[in-house]
């Protein structure tokens, strides 16, 4: 699918109020989740926002300061703050969920947590990245009542390129990822929390298939996988292009809508494994 009108630039929206979201999604992983779409060789973001990623009054983001604000690209600008962030999959995902009625008439909230260049061992329980993600996830629903407040609907996870750099990390990836899922669900008190992970499209050629096999092989309840292989890469052969990020966001939305959008008080087994 092409990105129609992707040469236009969009100013930040002037929204007087930010609705407290009821459908909350955690965005985490490394650089392709943080977004490098449109980041040029000289490490500047070109500012191009595809129509699928335009700001939407129904979509907000949790800032680094733990405040809800209107969501706009780059979603991770104050989270992956040591790198230049561009377009990622989050806005295209959220807009598609809203457009398709996956949140009803209620607001959607995104909680950016991804940090570029990070390995799965850096997301282990007790490590700073993991603990910060858990803290942000908890704060996203703080003060929410069953009648008025938000609910974490899914973790969307795109990580693994850093674990293709040596054989030991690649071979340990599946066990580490399964432990990560267990710990995150346990620490949030959500034992059936939906997890939508992305099978990586790039990495060290020697061990990328080991990591992809691990991602494709995870067989846990309420875990589905979207495969990024074949999506267009930038000249660095590592990061997805802006167009690829839009396509990935739509694929993630489809996975959520097909498997989890109708889930209410109790969770069910996903109807399909996407990888």
User: Would you please indicate which residues are annotated as catalytic (active-site) residues?
Assistant: 31, 236, 239
Task: State the Cα–Cα distance between residues 85 and 67, nearest whole angstrom.
Answer: 20
- Whether the CB-CB separation of 164 and 117 falls below 8 Å is answered with no
Query: Which DSSP letter does residue 71 get?
Result: -
DSSP 16-66: S--PPPSEEEEEEESHHHH--BTB-TTS-B--B--GGGS--TTEEEE-TTS
If DSSP codes are grouped into helix, strand and coil, which group holds residue 249?
Answer: helix
CA distance 233 to 82: 22
Q: Which residues contact 137 (CB under 8 A, 6 or more apart)?
A: 26, 111, 113, 152, 188
Q: Which of 72, 4, 14, 267 is nearest to 153 (CA)?
A: 267
Structure tokens at 173: 């990836």
Residue with token string 């889930």: 263
The side-by-side arrangement of strands in the sheet containing 195-199 is: 68-70, 59-62, 108-112, 23-29, 151-158, 195-199, 223-227
Ordered alpha helix ranges (H), the chain: 31-34, 90-99, 128-140, 167-188, 208-217, 242-259
């Amino acid at each position: 699918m092409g990105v129609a009108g992707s040469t236009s630039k969009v100013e930040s929206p002037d929204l007087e109020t930010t609705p407290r979201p009821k459908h909350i999604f955690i965005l985490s992983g490394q650089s392709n989740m943080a977004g490098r779409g449109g980041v040029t060789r000289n490490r500047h973001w070109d500012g191009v926002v595809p129509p699928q990623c335009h700001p939407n009054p129904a979509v907000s983001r949790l800032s680094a300061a733990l405040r809800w604000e209107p969501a706009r690209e780059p979603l991770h600008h104050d989270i992956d703050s040591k790198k230049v962030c561009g377009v990622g999959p989050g806005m295209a995902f959220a807009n598609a969920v809203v457009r398709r009625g996956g949140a009803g008439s209620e607001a959607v909230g995104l909680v950016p947590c991804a940090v570029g260049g990070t390995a799965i061992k850096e997301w282990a329980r007790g490590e700073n990245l993991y603990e910060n993600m858990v803290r942000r996830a908890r704060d996203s629903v703080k003060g929410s009542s069953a009648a008025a407040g938000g609910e974490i609907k899914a973790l969307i996870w795109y990580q693994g390129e850093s674990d293709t750099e040596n054989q030991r990390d690649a071979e340990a990836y599946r066990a580490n990822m399964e432990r990560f899922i267990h710990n995150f669900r346990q620490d949030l008190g959500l034992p059936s929390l939906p997890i939508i992970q992305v099978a990586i499209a790039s990495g060290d050629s020697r061990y990328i298939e080991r990591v992809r096999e691990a991602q494709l092989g995870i067989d846990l309840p309420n875990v589905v996988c979207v495969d990024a292989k074949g999506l267009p890469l930038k000249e660095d052969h590592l990061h997805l292009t802006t167009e690829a990020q839009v396509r990935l966001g739509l694929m993630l939305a489809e996975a959520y809508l097909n498997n989890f959008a109708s889930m209410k008080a109790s969770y069910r087994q996903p109807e399909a494994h996407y990888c």
